[in-house]
Structure formats: C-alpha cells, structure tokens
C-alpha cells in the first residue's frame, strides 16, 4: 500500500507548507516519517507535480499558508499566441529556475528511500495549467492549430529537457507523468484519443532517445455519478492509459470512486489482457474521500474486495490517492492494516476466514517521540 | 429570420458551446424586438438544460459543459441588462465564491451557469475569497444561498471556518450554505453544518431548489 499524501503530511506533521513544497530534503524526510508512521510500503508524500515546469517558465503561483501551491488561473502563463512565441525564445535554466532545484533535490533524496522515479506534469495537464482548462478546451475545438502548437511546445521544448535533466542529475531512467486533468469526465474518450494519447506518445518516443522511459498516468476514470458509470468508457479509459504508457499493461485507478465501481469490470479487462499473452498489473486507488469520511468498515471492506478480486492472479498494489489534509489517522491505519492483513502471500482462498484487527495506534507526534524523530 | 428560428439557433449555439454565435444571436433577437425574458426562457436556458440532459446520458462531458456555460454566460450578458428587475432571479438569490487560498474556478463557472439557467440570480465573488468578503456580501445583498467552492483538500477546511464565522456574526440563520468541489462530500457537508452539498453543477440546481423549498 502506497500513498500520495502531501496535504496530509503538512497537516499531520504540523509543518510549514511553504517549506515542505520548496525544500526537497525536508519534503522527503517528512514524507518518510509519515510513511513510517502509517507503515506504508513506499515513501510517497509527493509534491505539486502539476506546477513545477509552469512556475519555472514564469507562471504565477498562489502560495497559501497551509496549502499546496497552485497555479494562479486568474493570470494564465499563455494568454495567447504571443505568449507562446515569447516562451519559445525564453532561456530556461533547467537546473535552477523556479523550483527545479527542489525537485532535483527530492529526486536525489528519494534514491535513499528506494524510489528512483522522476516526475513531471503530463502534456495535457500542463496545457490546462498554461491556458486554463476552459480556454484550452476552446482552443481544441475552435483553434486546433494553436492548440497543437502549444502541445508540441510542451513536449519538445519543456518536457524533453526537463526529464532529461532529471535523468542526468539522478540517473533515473523512469519518469512518471501526472495527468489528473485528462480524466473521465473532464474529457471524452474521443478527445483523449485526439489530444492526450498522441502527445503522450510523442513524449515517450522522444524521451526514449534520451534514455528516459516515460509513463503518463492519463485517462483516469473519475466518474462521480454512478448513473453515468459505463463499463465501455471504463475499458476505453484503460486503453488510453496503456497507450499513454508505451503499451505497458499497467492499470492505475487513482481518483475515482473505486469503492463503488464494479471490480469485476476491471477484472474483465485484465483477463482480456492476459488472454492476449500480456501480464497486467493493477494499482487500485482507495478513494481519498472514502479515506476521509470512512467508515473504517467500508475502507477495510474495499481493500479486502480488491485483494480478493485481483491478488491471486494479477500483480496488485494499492494506493491511497491524495489523502485529504484532515483525514483521520485511524482511517489510514485501517487501510494499510487491511492491505497487510488480507494481502499476505499466498492469498487465502477465503478472506472471510481471516480476522481483521483494527490497529490502535499512537498519534504521529507520539510515534515521532518514540523513535527520536523530529522535523526541523 | 423568424422569432422561432432565432431562438432555435440560439438554443443550439448555447448547447454546442458556440459562444460567439450565442452572443450574436442574443443581440439579433433583441434587435428583432423579441422580449428579453422570452430570449432567456426559450433560447438561452433550453440550451443549457439540454446540455444537462446530455450530461446525464453520458453524451456530454465536462469539456462540453464548460463551453456551454461560457456560451450561456456571454449570451446572458447581452440580454440580462435588458430584463426588468423583477424578471431576474425568480428562483432565488445566490452569492458564490471559491474559498480563500484556492483559485480554482472551473466548477464554479459551471454551477453559475446552471443556477442562472434555473432562474437563480447569481453573483460571482470570484476566487480566493476571504471570509470578510462573504460576510460583507451577505450583509449587503441578503442572498438566500451562499455557495462555497474549493478544489484542494487543504482549502476545504476553510468552508467550516466560514460557517463558524457566519454563526459568530449572527448571519447563519439568514442564509443557506451550499458547498461543492472535488474534495467535498455529503459527509463533509454534514460535518461542517452546511445545508447542502452539490455533487456537480446539475446537482447544484436540485439542491438549490430544495433549499428554496421549490
């Protein structure tokens, strides 16, 4: 069980957000301590991966006292073709501009925790960040020439240099692209196939020549209304994801109401991949709002169902996506404990025979004290 | 061009998110002497209503809705100034803003369009709205509903603080609080004492109507 928990780490550890999101060593140390406290299987506090490149290019950001930095959509970096023309000529120091040093420092620190993957903002999400989502959608429909120019710039002139520098500094040959904007229902499958997949492929094809294997986490199925749930769209979103990962058959369900979606529909897709001779992997997200709201029983039940559905015959990992700042620690402990209880290999034939014991844990501060740890 | 043809084209322009055409047709309708309320009720609003129906059927996605919302907004900008005061906001008065520390706007744009399409008078307070502004606007404008939006888990906590502030200012009983945004849920709304939670822009209509008792 892994987690993305930058907001939660800041809140739990009571540390200044600005420092957390600008000091790579501090970010990693805080993330490692929170991961240790929760018995997570990997360090993953994370950072605002959607903002780094845009900020370095001169994009305006909003820094809240207790919140993650965010792009100031009131004043987009690219208001029109003239801004794109200006950016093409801009000299960028890929080591030192904006918070590039923060990310490079984090990349290096993460190696000490066994994490050797760089991160970047995927082309579609970066285009949203540069233009704002409404203006980008308008560009795609009404000024596709400009939209294509923007995407090409993002891939060729921003992402290729950035993933290359991350590799040069750390040796990381893997880079993962965050692409939350490119999800269902923000886009239709047709729009993803027209605008998301081609530029993800362009990025992958160019990056491999630099020795970097990129995978974009695009096409996430994030339908909120169950009356809109569609197995057909779900499967097509997986097609988008796999195409955005250079064909690697890895399913990642990050943000959606996975506890309500029929898991058998996901299994039907992975079984299809197996019938094609592929070895699918599933990373199943535990919905952030479920983790916050609970109840514990529902969280535990979901983790158990996922393991029961996939773990015997599919490479499975689980992931708590973007743990809310004030999510109760007990809920997170429950999710991790459920994964570790039901997920012991070999997976039992009948998980109902396994007794789940809810861990009763000390507070994070108490845990830190017990281990002689601080965050300064 | 006949009145029916203009209004049908206007509805189509809004539905298809053709903002320029929606503006042009709105002006053309006014120039042709069509009553502003008729333009709104039979041209502009049906466009966004049908968008809502297509959304529910999985034929429209956010990309379609956001363009509809923009076409709706621009069309209304042309027509609304010509409407009589009593014709606006028959369903109720709403003020809406993204809470302090958060500058996300997308959901709010869609909610504003759908609420206005449902006959609510909506004042947009913008993004990164401090508590003081919410308090001041409630005192000035006496809205029926205050809409709070957020996008980040780190800013959603502000919603609870706003409600507490309204209580301390003696304003809580004067206004209904409707919240929404990616990290929010009904449980969260219950927790902070909000009156309603909108799952999306179309659910916001149902919830706002329910708050108004209609």
CB contact under 8 A, B61 and A288: no
- The answer for residues whose C-beta is within 8 angstroms of residue A297's C-beta and 6 or more apart is none
Residue with tokens 């209503």: B49
Rounded Cα gap, residues A185 and B58, in angstroms: 9
Of the residues B86, B103, B128, which one is the last residue of a structural domain? B86
Contact by Cβ (8 Å): A301, A265: no
Asked if the Cβ–Cβ distance from B62 to A7 is below 8 Å, we say no
Both structure tokens of B120: 């609510």
Q: In chain A, what are the domain boundaries?
A: 2-370
Res B88: pLDDT: 72
Q: Do residues B49 and B110 both lie within one domain?
A: no
- CB distance B61–A191 less than 8 Å? yes
Q: What is d(CA B125, CA B110) in angstroms, rounded to the nearest whole number?
A: 14
Q: Which residues of chain A have a CB within 8 Å of the CB of B103?
A: 62, 70-74
Residue of B nearest to A140 (CA): B63
pLDDT at A321: 86
The CATH number of whichever domain residue B51 belongs to comes to 1.10.1240.10
Q: Find residue A176's DSSP bridge partners.
A: A119, A215
Q: Could you tell me the pLDDT band of residue B160, with boundaries at 50, 70 and 90?
A: very high
ipTM (interface predicted TM) = 0.93
Region at B172 (left for phi over 0; alpha for psi -120 to 50; beta for the rest) = alpha
- The verdict on B71 and B173 lying in the same domain is no
Residues whose CB falls within 8 Å of the CB of residue A70, separated by 6 or more in sequence, listed in order: A48, A51, A61, A62, A64, B102, B103, B104, B151, B152
* Distance in angstroms (rounded) separating the CA atoms of residues A131 and A150: 9
Choose among A47, A50, A42: nearest CA to A9. A47
The answer to whether B157 contacts chain A (CB < 8 Å) is yes
At A166 the pLDDT is 96
Q: Report yes or no: A249 and A242 within 8 Å, Cβ to Cβ.
A: yes
Residue B84 pLDDT more than 80?
no
Tokens in use for B157? 């906590």
Contacts of B192 in chain A (CB under 8 A): none
Partner-chain contact B63 A224, CB within 8 Å: no
**In degrees to the nearest 10, what's the CA dihedral of A164, A165, A168, A172?**
-70
> Nearest C-alpha of chain A: how many angstroms from B66?
6
Range of the domain at B162: 89-212
Asked whether residue B63 falls in the same domain as residue B99, the answer is no
Question: What is the number of other CB atoms lying within 10 angstroms of the CB of residue A107?
Answer: 24
Which residues have a Cβ under 8 Å from the Cβ of B128 and sit 6 or more positions away? A62, B98, B99, B100, B101, B102, B103
- The answer to whether residue A60 neighbours chain B at the CB level (below 8 Å) is no
Is A73–B103 a contact, with Cβ atoms under 8 angstroms apart?
yes
pLDDT of residue A302: 98
B198/B181 same-domain check:
yes
Q: Domain count of chain B?
A: 2
Residues A89-102 pLDDT 10s: 999 999 999 999 99
Out of B55, B67, B102, name the one closest to residue A138 (CB): B67
A68:B154 CB<8 A:
yes
Would you say residue B214 has pLDDT above 90? no
pLDDT at B101: 87
- pLDDT-based confidence at residue B86 (cuts at 50, 70, 90): low
Nearest to A49 by CA among A21, A72, A9: A21
Q: Is B154 on the interface with A (CB under 8 A)?
A: yes
**Does the distance separating the beta carbons of B58 and A228 come in below 8 Å?**
yes
Distance CA B82, CA A51 (A): 42
Q: Are residues B66 and B99 in the same domain?
A: no
What is the structure's pLDDT at A241?
A: 97
Q: H or E element: which one contains A309?
A: helix A296-310
Tens place of pLDDT per residue across chain A (376 aa): 999 999 999 999 999 999 999 999 999 999 999 999 999 998 876 899 999 999 999 999 998 888 889 999 889 999 999 999 999 999 999 999 999 999 999 999 998 888 889 999 999 999 999 999 999 999 999 999 999 999 999 999 999 999 999 999 999 999 999 999 999 999 999 999 999 999 999 999 999 999 999 999 999 999 999 999 999 999 999 999 999 999 999 999 999 999 999 999 999 999 999 999 999 999 999 999 999 999 999 999 999 999 999 999 999 999 998 899 999 999 999 999 999 999 999 999 999 999 999 999 999 999 999 999 999 8
- Neighbour count for residue B140 (Cβ, 10 Å): 10
Residues B130 and B71 in one domain: no
Q: What is the reported pLDDT for A262?
A: 98
Check CB contact of B62 with chain A, cutoff 8 Å: yes
For residue B152, give the nearest of A67, A73, A186 by CB distance: A67
DSSP states of A203-260: HHHHHHTTT-EEEEE--EE----GGG--HHHHHHHHHHHHHTTTT--EEEE-SS-TTT
Given an 8 Å threshold on Cβ–Cβ distance, is B154 in contact with A225?
no
Mean pLDDT, chain B, integer? 94
Long-range contacts formed by B35-42: CB under 8 A, 24+ apart: B36/B79, B36/B80, B36/B82, B36/B83, B36/B84, B36/B87, B37/B83, B37/B84, B37/B87, B38/B3, B38/B7, B39/B7, B39/B10, B39/B79, B40/B76, B40/B79, B40/B80, B40/B83, B42/B7, B42/B11
Q: What is the mean pLDDT of residues B128-134?
A: 96
Statement to judge: residues B192 and B134 lie in one domain = yes
Please name which of B123, B124, B125, B126 lies closest in space to residue B103, comparing C-alpha atoms. B126
User: How far is the C-alpha of A293 from the C-alpha of A287, rounded, in Å?
Assistant: 10
Distances (CA, A) of A9 to A20, A108, A116, A359: 9, 20, 21, 20
> Which residue in A74, A134, A324 is closest to B153 by CB distance?
A324
Specify whether B14 is located in the same domain as B78: yes
- Is residue B81 domain-shared with residue B94, that is, in the same domain? no
Inform me whether the C-beta atom of residue B103 falls under 8 Å from chain A C-beta atoms.
Answer: yes
Tell me the CA distances in angstroms from B40 to B26, B68, B131, one per residue in order.
Answer: 9, 14, 33
CA distance A299 to chain B (A): 15
Dist CA B182 CA A255 (whole Å): 10
Is B7 an interface residue toward A (CB < 8 Å)?
no
Q: What is the reported pLDDT for A113?
A: 87
Q: What pLDDT sits at residue A45?
A: 65
CB of A10 within 8 Å of a chain B CB? The answer is yes
Nearest to B149 by CA among B187, B190, B102: B102
A320 vs A6, A133, A154, B198, CA distance in Å? 12, 26, 29, 24
Share of chain B above pLDDT 90, in %: 85
Please report which helix (H) or strand (E) contains residue A106, including its range.
helix A100-111
What are the structure tokens assigned to A248, written together? 């690697």
Chain B nearest CA to A350, separation (Å): 32
Please give the Cα distance from B68 to B80 (Å, whole number). 17
Query: Do B154 and A11 count as a contact with CB atoms less than 8 A apart?
Result: yes
Preferred mutation among A131, A293, A324, A328 to probe B, highest tally of B CBs within 10 A: A324
Tell me which chain A residues have a C-beta less than 8 angstroms from the C-beta of B200: 224-225
Whether residue B201 sits in one domain with residue B131 = yes
Dump pLDDT digits (tens) for B40-76: 999 999 999 999 999 999 999 999 999 999 999 999 9
* A283 CB within 8 Å of a chain B CB: no
Place of tokens 């229902």: A185
B89, pLDDT greater than 80: no
Considering the domain architecture, whether residues B61 and B93 belong to the same structural domain is answered as: no
Which of B86, B114, B135 is where one domain is finished? B86
Interface mutation target, options B13, B103, B191, chain A, most CBs of A under 10 Å:
B103
- Alpha-helical regions (H) of chain B: 3-15, 19-31, 36-39, 45-56, 62-79, 106-117, 131-141, 153-168, 186-192, 201-212
Q: What is the DSSP letter of B86?
A: G
For chain A, the distance separating the N- and C-terminal CA atoms, rounded to the nearest angstrom, is 27
Is there a single domain that holds both residue B113 and residue B186?
A: yes
Residue A310 — φ and ψ, nearest 5°?
Answer: -115, -30
- Domain boundary residue, one of B58, B86, B114: B86
CATH topology of domain A2-370: TIM Barrel (3.20.20)
The count of other CB atoms within 10 Å of the CB of residue A33 is 22
CB of A136 within 8 A of CB of A128? yes
First vs last C-alpha separation in chain B: 37
Q: Is A298 on the interface with B (CB under 8 A)?
A: no
């Amino acid at each position: 069980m892994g987690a993305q928990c930058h907001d939660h780490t800041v809140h739990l550890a009571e540390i200044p957000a600005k420092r957390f999101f600008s000091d790579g060593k501090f970010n990693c140390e805080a993330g490692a301590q929170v991961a240790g406290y929760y018995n997570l299987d990997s360090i993953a506090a994370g950072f605002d991966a959607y903002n780094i490149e845009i900020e370095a290019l001169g994009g305006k950001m909003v820094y809240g006292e207790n919140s993650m930095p965010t792009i100031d959509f009131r004043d987009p970096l690219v208001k029109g073709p003239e801004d794109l023309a200006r950016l093409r000529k801009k000299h960028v120091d890929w080591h030192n501009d904006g918070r590039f040093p923060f990310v490079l420092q984090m990349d290096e620190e993460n190696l000490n925790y066994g994490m050797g993957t760089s991160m970047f903002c995927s082309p579609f999400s970066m285009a949203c960040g540069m233009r704002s989502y409404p203006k980008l959608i308008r560009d795609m429909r009404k000024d596709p020439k400009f939209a294509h120019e923007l995407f090409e710039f993002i891939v060729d002139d921003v992402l290729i240099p950035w993933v290359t520098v991350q590799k040069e500094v750390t040796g990381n040959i893997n880079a993962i692209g965050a692409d939350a904007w490119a999800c269902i229902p923000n886009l239709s499958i047709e729009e993803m196939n027209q605008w998301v997949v081609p530029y993800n492929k362009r990025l992958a094809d160019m990056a491999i020549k630099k020795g970097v294997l990129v995978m974009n986490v695009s096409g996430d199925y994030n339908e909120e209304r169950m009356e809109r749930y569609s197995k057909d769209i779900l499967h097509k979103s997986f097609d988008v994801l796999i195409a955005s990962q250079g064909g690697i058959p890895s399913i990642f369900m990050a943000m959606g109401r996975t506890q309500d979606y029929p898991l058998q529909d996901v299994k039907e897709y992975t079984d299809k991949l197996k019938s094609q001779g592929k070895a699918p992997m599933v990373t199943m997200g535990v919905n952030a709002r479920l983790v916050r709201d609970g109840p514990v029983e529902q969280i535990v039940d979901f983790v158990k169902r996922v393991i029961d559905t996939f773990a015997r015959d599919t490479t499975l990992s689980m992931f708590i996506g973007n743990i809310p700042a004030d999510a109760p620690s007990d809920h997170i402990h429950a999710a991790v404990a459920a994964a570790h209880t039901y997920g012991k290999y070999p997976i039992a034939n009948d998980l109902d025979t396994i007794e789940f014991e809810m861990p009763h844990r000390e507070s994070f501060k108490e845990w830190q004290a017990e281990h002689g740890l601080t965050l300064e | 061009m006949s009145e029916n043809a203009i209004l049908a084209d206007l509805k189509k322009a809004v539905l298809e998110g053709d903002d320029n055409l929606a503006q042009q047709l709105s002006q053309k309708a006014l120039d042709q002497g069509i009553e502003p309320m008729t333009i709104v009720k039979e041209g502009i609003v049906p466009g966004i209503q049908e968008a809502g129906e297509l959304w529910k059927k999985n034929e429209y996605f956010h990309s379609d809705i956001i363009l509809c919302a923009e076409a709706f907004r621009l069309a209304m900008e042309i027509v609304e100034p010509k409407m009589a005061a009593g014709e606006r906001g028959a369903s109720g008065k709403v003020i809406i803003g993204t809470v302090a520390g958060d500058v996300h706007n997308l959901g709010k744009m869609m909610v504003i369009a759908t609420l206005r399409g449902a006959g609510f008078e909506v004042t947009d307070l913008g993004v990164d709205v401090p508590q003081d502004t919410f308090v001041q606007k409630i005192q000035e404008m006496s809205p029926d509903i205050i809409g709070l939006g957020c996008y980040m888990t780190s800013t959603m906590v502000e919603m609870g603080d706003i409600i507490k502030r309204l209580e301390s200012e003696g304003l809580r009983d004067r206004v209904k609080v409707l919240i929404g945004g990616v990290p929010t849920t009904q449980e969260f709304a219950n927790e902070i004492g909000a009156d309603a939670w909108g799952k999306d822009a179309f659910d916001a209509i149902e919830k706002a109507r329910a708050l108004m008792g209609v």
